Structure 1
Amino acid sequence: MVVALLVTKPLGFNLPYMGMIKLCPRLAPKGLLATMNGLMNPTLFTFGFAAGSSLGGVLVGSLGMTGAFRTFAYTSLGLGICYIALYILYIRRRYGNVSVLSNKIFKGDFVIRK
Structure 2
Amino acid sequence: MTARQHDSSVYEQIQASEQFQELRRRFRAWAFPMTAAFLTWYLLYVILSAWARDFMGTKVIGNINVALIFGLLQFVSTFGIAWAYSRFAGRKLDPLADEIRHETEGKSE
* Range into which the TM-score falls when normalised by the shorter chain: 0.3 to 0.5
Q: Considering fraction of residues, name the structure with more strand.
A: 2
| Structure having the higher Rg | 2
TM norm structure 2: 0.35
